[in-house]
Amino acid sequence: MALRYIGQKAAQQIDEELMSAAGAFSIDQLMELAGLSCAQALAKSFPVKTHARVLVCCGPGNQGGDGLVAARHLHHFSYNPTIYYPKPGGKDLYQRLLKQARNLGIPVVDTEGFPASLEGADVVMDAIFGFSFHPPVRAPFDKVLTALAESSKPILSVDIPSGWGVEEGRQRLTNTQGEEVATIDPEVLISLTAPKEGSRNYTGKHWLGGRFVPDDLAKRYELNLPEYPGVDQVVELPPSGKL
């Protein structure tokens, strides 16, 4: 059976179930597993010999937390990550993830340092917006998305390309002043838990990560998840998720 693409409501319900008393996962666990999957997807797509310098662009929410975790794992995979994190989340979890990255000597830059970091990168990990994003795009991310879209650097997006609708896919974007914001087209996408409706027509290299979904939950939501090979945390999906 074909892999199921889920909408925003189902994605939120699955997350809530995983972190419920019955699911028993903590957000720390899920973020760690998701970030590890993202790092492995990047490593499988962009070899360290040619793409060692990774700019990890993190938003202030859970998507950014996945990016912080991924940056740490990429460091241990012998990559040289730099974190762009202009609006750090205020929760203790995000502060600890950022501290863990700094303890490894991973550089963290703000919006002023973003252009030079983008110029010096071999590949970009887009962990800015997740499936809860709704336009318009607020500063400073309006300029960041345009810069990424206009750059020649390859991009790996986490879960859904930043700025895309979780159900609509690629969409026209504006900032809070009504000015147009460019839309990114990543070379690689890693969906987490299950692919989202907005990525149904995505044509680049597509990975699925999230080797933690309980069998009964996957069955109830009819996710029809593929088997992960060996001990990998990611599995590559064929076009349109046809298995």
Tokens matching residue 64:
């950014």
- The reply to whether 66 sits in an annotated binding site is yes
- The reply to whether 142 sits in an annotated binding site is no
C-alpha–C-alpha distance, residues 221 and 183, integer Å = 31
User: In this structure, are residues 35 and 66 in contact, taking their beta carbons and an 8 Å threshold?
Assistant: yes
- The reply to whether 117 sits in an annotated binding site is no
- The reply to whether 135 sits in an annotated binding site is yes
- The reply to whether 162 sits in an annotated binding site is yes
Three-state DSSP at 118 gives helix
- The reply to whether 65 sits in an annotated binding site is yes
- The reply to whether 62 sits in an annotated binding site is yes
- The reply to whether 46 sits in an annotated binding site is no
- The neighbour count for residue 213, using CB atoms within 10 Å, is 19
Tell me the one-letter amino acid at 48: V
- The reply to whether 152 sits in an annotated binding site is no
- The reply to whether 136 sits in an annotated binding site is yes
Tokens matching residue 159:
């879960």
- The reply to whether 133 sits in an annotated binding site is yes
Closest by CA position to 158, among listed 14, 230, 59 = 59
- The reply to whether 64 sits in an annotated binding site is yes
User: In this structure, are residues 185 and 16 in contact, taking their beta carbons and an 8 Å threshold?
Assistant: no
- The reply to whether 88 sits in an annotated binding site is no
- The reply to whether 215 sits in an annotated binding site is no
Q: Which residues are annotated as a binding site for (6S)-NADPHX?
A: 62-66, 130-136, 159
Q: Which residues are annotated as a binding site?
A: 62-66, 126, 130-136, 159, 162
Q: Which residues are annotated as a binding site for K(+)?
A: 63, 126, 162
